[in-house]
Structure 1
Amino acid sequence: MTHVITADNNGENWLHSFNNWLQERTPTKVTGNYKMNQIVPESEVQELEELAFQFDNEMAGGPAIQIKEAEKD
């Protein structure tokens, strides 16, 4: 299953803030250098979903970052 990272209303600012937030945290296996609709390696999906949930609640006050299943062409 392929997953991509997106932001609310395709907001690049949310994704930029999320990347900065990730880079300030203790080292994780996720990079903190994501682009809109970038494919997320399967090995990072679970941790990235947890971090996105944490960012959404601590920083955004709602669902800003989503890790979702990629649409099939």
Structure 2
Amino acid sequence: MEWLSVDRIENGIAVCEDENRKKREITLENIEGTPGEGDMIFLENGKYHISAEETAKRRERILRLQKNLFGE
């Protein structure tokens, strides 16, 4: 499954980044729900969906990395 990270929302478009850091633009009409910055989305049956579980896992991983780099 391909995951995309929502980088930002601009003028009805979610600017996303894939695992290779390639930018992709997806219209909000093609995403179920209301995405926000940092949300993880995936394509299923022709529509993008937000994964709260994957978003939480990625955010937790980033927080751990920050703590390791900068301390608590």
Same fold judged by TM-score > 0.5?
no
- Radius of gyration: which is bigger? 2
Which has the bigger relative contact order, CA under 8 A and spacing at least 6?
A: 1
More helix by share: 1
TM-score w.r.t. length of structure 1: 0.30
